[in-house]
Every structure is written in structure tokens, then in C-alpha cells.
Homo-oligomer: A and B are copies of this chain.
Amino acid sequence: MQVYISVVGVGTEREDLNRLAYEVGRLIAERGAVLVCGGLGGIMDAAAHGAKEAGGMTIGILPGPSRVGSSKHLDVAIPTDMGHARNALVIRAADAAIAIGAGYGTLSEIGLALKMGKPVIGLKTWVLYREGKEDEGIILVDTAVEAVEAIFRIIQQREGDL
């Protein structure tokens, strides 16, 4: 079955993060996986851009009622009119998530993915502590290559376990 990977991150433009997201998108597409994102700007647009340049399939799940204003790099744009509740759909649609940067929406998506038992890889994202200890739910890495390799390693492991 085809692999779907969500790339989640802020909609504002930050060049260093966008470059990471672009690279992550490209690598996801090169591995033949479908890219899912929130369909707007910033990380979402950059990841979709990278995936399209590598010939991949890109899906944006939008918070608003129409496709107007969504990223130009989407094969499929799905308006939901559900506001921030669409974050749950972005995560639900994928087998694993890569979080880039540290916005509050991204935090919600990390929480939802971990709650649903989906692997989460983090790049320059939140570091979480509870009861005085760093939580190891997010697998923190430093490069796009490590992020995508980690995700496929985990997915293959899980399939092997079945």
C-alpha cells in the first residue's frame, strides 16, 4: 500500500525552514510517497513545491471553505471549512508526520499524531518535557535526509512487525 506522509509547519515564511521543507518534500516524492500538508503557505507550500519538482503527488487539506489561495504546488486541494479542526484531518490522512519549526498549530498536530500512535519526526521543532524529563515521542533529527530516512525505517519496521 502506498505511503502517505504529512509535513506540518507554520504558514509564515522563514527561509531556513522553507529550505528544509522543500528538501523534505523532494525526498518524500523520490521515495514514492504521497505528501499531505495543510495546503497554505510557508512550510506547507515549500514541502509541496519540493515534492512536485521530484514528480510526487501532493495533497493539501485546507481550513477554509474554498480552494482559493491554496499553494500552487498541490495536485489535490481539499477545502474543509473546519478551521483548526482540519489539523486532525491532516494527521489522520497520513501514516507518519514530519514537523518542521515550532508553531502552535504544529504543536497540535504533533500531539494528535502521537495520540493516534503515528511516528513523528521533528526538524527544528518543539522539545517537550514532562515530569522533568525530555519526552521521546518526537524523533528529533537535524537534516531533511535524516528525517525521511527515519520515517521510512520506522514504517518498514512496523510493517515487518505485522
Query: A56-82: contact bitstring with B at CB < 8 Å (1 yes, 0 no)?
Result: 010101000101000000011011111
Highest count of chain B CB atoms <10 Å: which of A1, A84, A106, A124? A84
Q: Which of B81, B109, B126 contacts A83 (CB 8 A)?
A: B81
The oligomer's copy count stands at: 4
B residues near A112, Cβ cutoff 8 Å = 84, 87, 104-105, 108
On whether the beta carbons of B78 and A89 are closer than 8 Å, the reply is yes
A97 at the interface (CB under 8 A from B): no
Contact flag A92-B67 (CB < 8 Å), given A102-B131, A111-B111, A115-B105? no
- A61's nearest neighbour on chain B, judged by CB, is B78
- A: contact size bracket: 35 or more
B residues near A57, Cβ cutoff 8 Å = 75-76
Measured CB to CB, the residues of A under 8 A from B are 1, 4, 34, 57, 59, 61, 65, 67, 75-76, 78-85, 87-89, 92-93, 102-112, 114-116, 124-131, 135, 137
B residues near A92, Cβ cutoff 8 Å = 65, 79-81, 83-85
Q: Which of B81, B109, B127, B137 contacts A111 (CB 8 A)?
A: B109
